[in-house]
A and B are shown apart, each in its own frame.
Chain A
Amino acid sequence: AQTVTQSQPEMSVQEAETVTLSCTYDTSESNYYLFWYKQPPSRQMILVIRQEAYKQQNATENRFSVNFQKAAKSFSLKISDSQLGDTAMYFCAFMLNTGNQFYFGTGTSLTVIP
Chain B
Amino acid sequence: KAGVTQTPRYLIKTRGQQVTLSCSPISGHRSVSWYQQTPGQGLQFLFEYFSETQRNKGNFPGRFSGRQFSNSRSEMNVSTLELGDSALYLCASSLYPTSTDTQYFGPGTRLTVL
| Chain A interface residues toward B at CB < 8 A | 32-33, 37, 42-47, 50, 91, 95-107
Contact = CB atoms under 8 A, between A and B. Distances in A.
Nearest to A103: B45
B99 A105 contact: no
Q: What 6 pairs between A and B have smallest CB-CB spacing?
A: A45-B105, A104-B43, A100-B97, A106-B42, A97-B99, A44-B107
Interface of B: 3, 31, 33, 35, 42-45, 48, 55-56, 58, 88, 90, 92, 94, 97-108
A101 B48 contact: yes
Given A42-B107, A106-B42, A107-B42, A98 B88 contact: no
Contact of A98 (B35, B99, B103): B99
A107 B58 CA distance: 20
Nearest to A44: B107
Contact of B99 (A43, A44, A99): A99
Given A100-B103, A107-B42, 8 more contacts: A43-B88, A44-B3, A44-B108, A45-B90, A47-B104, A100-B97, A101-B56, A106-B42
Most buried by B among A37, A45, A97, A98: A45
